[in-house]
């Protein structure tokens, strides 16, 4: 790790876009520094894709879709390519995990065991899925057969966030390609290392122009991409404010979209839960990935009957979390992605105290870590659900605990949120788990389990957490046009118009 880090510090990578099978020229572009949040040193220079370059990328994808072989490739051919990408990622797994850790500050233990295997698995999953996925046939209408089939939608703009750069962007790429589309990918300007490297390691697997890359800031490259008339849809994962701006720009062209946005997920711990499991999961849901997770279950509701014991155990464990260099084994929390994300943590710590919350742990920059954007894992006990720390997505290692007395009360509080991504329920009472799961207004409910993504199911949000679902059928809906073909199975009886003079 330190070898690669030193090498990047000595000679930062030069990153650009990738259009029609070639990395684009970098001269004359705006140059943006990409940093390692642990050392605060520059690890790459990003040559920003201009509007012209975005245009070239969309044109290449359009040409590949309209005239190239990919749109007409058989399922077997697409499976072959997807499986080859899966294998290419796994054969570079160590390097990709290191790059991801250097660029994001997420512990290597997590990028190695979760992010990169997940990125690869997306391709294998969709390769398998398209072999079984089908349409529908209806024969209820007398004399007719109605067929529902799914066709590729065209050129997909795929925009990913910085908190799981390769894993989340790979899911979009795999889904778009599996259903026969071509694409233009834009990673976050903060974390372009692994997605750009992906284009190098899969060179030659796909026909020219099927997968293109633009690199740059959201308000420059991202805006050019989502407002380009040549795209057919946008699949976006990121913040709710950005998602809303993109939706506004898509409305003009009546373009489709899928939006995976923010969350503020309730994690409800009833007195009859398996206590140790519930504490373990509350820690994991709040602090894994440095707490920078859309599906963080960091709005923790604790049954008053067990609150003293729960808060004591949770707080002791938060204070014992191992913070430091994410490359070292044993590190549980790395740095925030950048300076402004750490300031955001400070602001929420201040606002929590100002609004009457009690500090249980953390709340400050790490006194002994002067380099790197480190912030202490933080837990606060909030008097009500109205506090900003209970309503707004903080996106860092920050848990906001509240107490409750009964089931109806906690359901109402859990649903009192602009978001609706995930709900976590901890109880040993089956009937209660079913009642609460159906009452929660969230796209996913997890009962007695921490974070799980099962690609066979749809993942996405109610309310301001998004539009559409990612996963098998959800991705099919996202990346295809549904076509209805109705065929007469016998001559049709119909009124014969215009027969008066016949
Ligand atoms: P942002 O919304 O800031 O950015 C997401 C992506 O959009 C980045 O690539 C960004 O580029 C780009 N972008 C920014 N502005 C525009 C624009 N006007 N037009 C087009 N693209 C633009 O989100 P973050 O990267 O900060 O990610 C964190 C957010 O993502 C959190 O809210 C989190 O909840 C959400 N998220 C949701 C998930 C889900 O599945 N629901 C999963 C993971 C994260 P750049 O960074 O270069 O500016």
Within this chain, do residues 191 and 303 fall inside the same structural domain, yes or no? no
465 vs 422: CA distance, rounded Å: 9
Do you know the residue count of the chain?
A: 502
Q: What tokens were used for 193?
A: 């290392």
**What is the band of 29 on the pLDDT scale with cuts at 50, 70, 90?**
confident
The pLDDT assigned to 394 comes to 97
Residue found under tokens 């520094």: 33
Residue found under tokens 């008339």: 229
The pLDDT assigned to 28 comes to 72
Identify whether 53 is a catalytic site residue.
no
The pLDDT assigned to 82 comes to 98
Beta-bridge mates of residue 483: 149
In 179-274, alpha helices (H): 193-201, 223-226, 240-253
Within this chain, do residues 385 and 283 fall inside the same structural domain, yes or no? yes
Q: Tell me whether strands 378-381 and 398-404 are parallel, antiparallel or unpaired.
A: parallel
Q: Measuring from atom 20 of ligand 1, which residue has the nearest CA?
A: 222
Q: What tokens were used for 455?
A: 């690609």
Within this chain, do residues 240 and 277 fall inside the same structural domain, yes or no? no
The pLDDT assigned to 117 comes to 98
What is the best residue among 46, 242, 289, 293 to mutate for testing ligand 1's pocket, by most ligand atoms within 8 Å of CB? 242
According to DSSP, residue 368 is labeled T
Q: Measuring from atom 39 of ligand 1, which residue has the nearest CA?
A: 260
| Mean pLDDT taken over the chain | 96
The pLDDT assigned to 501 comes to 78
Residue found under tokens 């990125």: 119
Contact 214, 184 (CB under 8 A): yes
E-strand ranges in 6-115 read 13-15, 18-19, 22-23, 31-35, 42-47
Within this chain, do residues 215 and 113 fall inside the same structural domain, yes or no? yes
Within this chain, do residues 207 and 168 fall inside the same structural domain, yes or no? yes
Within this chain, do residues 304 and 169 fall inside the same structural domain, yes or no? no
pLDDT at residue 2 is higher than 90: no
Establish if 327 belongs to a structural domain. yes
Predicted confidence (pLDDT) per residue in 126-166, tens digit? 999 999 999 999 999 999 999 999 999 999 999 999 999 99
State which residues form the domain around 181: 2-261+465-485
The pLDDT assigned to 1 comes to 58
CATH number of the domain where residue 8 is located:
3.40.605.10
Identify whether 141 is a catalytic site residue.
no
Ligand 1 centroid vs 195 CA: distance in angstroms? 15
Within this chain, do residues 253 and 276 fall inside the same structural domain, yes or no? no
Within this chain, do residues 297 and 375 fall inside the same structural domain, yes or no? yes
Q: Measuring from atom 22 of ligand 1, which residue has the nearest CA?
A: 218
Of 473 and 27, the one with more pLDDT: 473
Establish if 458 belongs to a structural domain. no
Within this chain, do residues 240 and 274 fall inside the same structural domain, yes or no? no
Ligand 1 centroid vs 173 CA: distance in angstroms? 16
Percent of the chain's residues with pLDDT above 70: 99
Establish if 492 belongs to a structural domain. no
The pLDDT assigned to 71 comes to 84
The pLDDT assigned to 27 comes to 66
What is the side-by-side order of every strand in the sheet holding 42-47?
13-15, 42-47, 31-35
Within this chain, do residues 10 and 108 fall inside the same structural domain, yes or no? yes
Mean pLDDT for 411-425 is 98
Angle between helices 116-132 and 472-479 (to 10 degrees): 80
Which helix (H) or strand (E) segment is 89 a member of? Answer: helix 75-91
For the ranges 24-38, 139-153, 196-210, 300-314, the lowest mean pLDDT is seen at 24-38
- For the Cβ of 443 lying below 6 angstroms from any atom of ligand 1, the answer is no
Establish if 83 belongs to a structural domain. yes
- For the Cβ of 247 lying below 6 angstroms from any atom of ligand 1, the answer is no
Q: Tell me whether strands 256-260 and 182-186 are parallel, antiparallel or unpaired.
A: unpaired
Ligand 1 centroid vs 299 CA: distance in angstroms? 21
| Helices H / strands E in the chain, number of each | 17, 23
- For the Cβ of 289 lying below 6 angstroms from any atom of ligand 1, the answer is no
82 by Cβ neighbours in 10 Å (0-12 / 13-18 / 19+) ranks as: buried
Beta-bridge mates of residue 473: none
pLDDT at residue 25 is higher than 80: no
480 vs 478: CA distance, rounded Å: 6
Predicted confidence (pLDDT) per residue in 47-89, tens digit? 999 999 999 999 999 999 999 999 889 999 999 999 999 999 9
277 vs 269: CA distance, rounded Å: 10
Q: What tokens were used for 7?
A: 């090498």
13 vs 47: CA distance, rounded Å: 11
User: Which is the closest atom of ligand 1 to the Cα of 245?
Assistant: 18
Mean pLDDT for 283-303 is 97
CATH number of the domain where residue 381 is located:
3.40.309.10
Establish if 491 belongs to a structural domain. no
Within this chain, do residues 205 and 316 fall inside the same structural domain, yes or no? no
Establish if 169 belongs to a structural domain. yes
Q: Measuring from atom 28 of ligand 1, which residue has the nearest CA?
A: 238
Contact 175, 478 (CB under 8 A): yes
Within this chain, do residues 208 and 357 fall inside the same structural domain, yes or no? no
Establish if 496 belongs to a structural domain. no
142-158 burial, b at 16+ Cβ within 10 Å, e below that, comes to eeeeeeeebebbbbbbb
Ligand 1 centroid vs 387 CA: distance in angstroms? 24
Of 71 and 251, the one with more pLDDT: 251
φ and ψ at residue 293, rounded to 5 degrees: -135, 135
E-strand ranges in 252-382 read 256-260, 266-269, 299-303, 358-361, 378-381
The dihedral formed by the CA atoms of 287, 293, 299 and 305, expressed in degrees to the nearest 10: -50
Ligand 1 centroid vs 172 CA: distance in angstroms? 14
* Residue tagged active-site, from 100, 156, 189, 294: 294
Predicted confidence (pLDDT) per residue in 351-378, tens digit? 999 999 999 999 999 999 999 999 999 9
459 vs 14: CA distance, rounded Å: 35
Q: How many separate domains does the chain show?
A: 2
Establish if 499 belongs to a structural domain. no
Q: What tokens were used for 108?
A: 């290597």
pTM: 0.96
């Amino acid at each position: 790790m330190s070898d690669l880090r030193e090498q990047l510090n000595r000679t930062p990578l030069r990153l650009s876009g990738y259009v029609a099978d070639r990395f684009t020229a970098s001269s004359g572009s705006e140059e943006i520094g990409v940093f390692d949040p642990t050392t605060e040193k520059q690890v790459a220079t990003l040559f920003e894709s201009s509007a012209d370059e975005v245009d070239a990328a969309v044109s290449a994808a359009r040409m590949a879709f309209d005239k190239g072989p990919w749109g007409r490739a058989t399922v077997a051919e697409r499976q072959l390519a997807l499986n080859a990408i899966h294998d290419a990622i796994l054969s570079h797994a160590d390097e990709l995990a290191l790059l991801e850790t250097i660029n994001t500050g997420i512990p290597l233990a997590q990028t190695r065991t979760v992010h990169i295997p997940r990125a690869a698995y997306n391709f294998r999953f969709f390769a398998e899925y398209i072999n079984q996925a089908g349409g529908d046939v209806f024969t209820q209408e007398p004399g007719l057969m109605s067929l529902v089939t799914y066709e590729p939608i065209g050129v997909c703009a795929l925009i990913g966030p910085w908190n799981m750069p390769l894993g989340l962007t790979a899911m979009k790429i795999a889904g778009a390609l599996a259903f026969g589309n071509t694409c233009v990918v834009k990673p976050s300007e903060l974390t372009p290392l692994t997605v750009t490297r992906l284009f190098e390691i899969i060179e030659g697997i796909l026909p020219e122009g099927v997968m293109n890359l633009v690199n740059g800031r959201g308000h420059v490259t991202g805006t050019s991409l989502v407002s380009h008339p040549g795209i057919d849809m946008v699949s976006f994962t990121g913040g709710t404010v950005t998602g809303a701006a993109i939706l506004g720009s898509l409305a003009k062209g009546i373009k489709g979209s899928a939006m995976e946005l923010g969350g503020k997920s309730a994690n409800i711990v009833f007195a009859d839960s398996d206590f140790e499991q519930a504490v373990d999961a509350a820690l994991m849901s709040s602090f894994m990935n440095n707490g920078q997770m859309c599906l963080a279950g960091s709005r923790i509701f604790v049954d008053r009957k067990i609150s003293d014991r729960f808060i004591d155990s949770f707080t002791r464990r938060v204070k014992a979390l191992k913070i430091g260099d994410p490359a070292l084994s044993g590190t549980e929390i790395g740095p925030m992605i950048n300076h402004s994300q750490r300031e955001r943590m400070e602001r929420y710590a201040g606002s929590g105290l100002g609004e009457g919350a009690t500090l249980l742990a953390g709340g400050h920059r790490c006194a002994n870590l002067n380099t790197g954007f480190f912030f202490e894992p933080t837990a606060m006990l909030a008097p009500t659900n109205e506090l900003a720390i209970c309503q707004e997505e903080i996106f860092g290692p920050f848990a906001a605990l509240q107490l409750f007395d009964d089931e109806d009360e906690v359901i109402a509080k859990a649903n009192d949120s602009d978001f609706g991504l995930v709900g976590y329920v901890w109880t040993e009472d089956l009937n209660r788990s079913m009642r609460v799961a159906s009452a929660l207004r969230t796209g996913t409910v997890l009962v007695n389990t921490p974070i799980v993504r099962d690609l066979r199911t749809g993942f996405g949000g109610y309310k301001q957490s998004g539009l559409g679902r990612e996963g098998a059928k959800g991705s099919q809906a996202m990346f295809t046009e549904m076509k209805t073909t109705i065929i007469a199975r016998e001559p049709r009886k119909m009124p014969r118009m215009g027969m008066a003079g016949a």
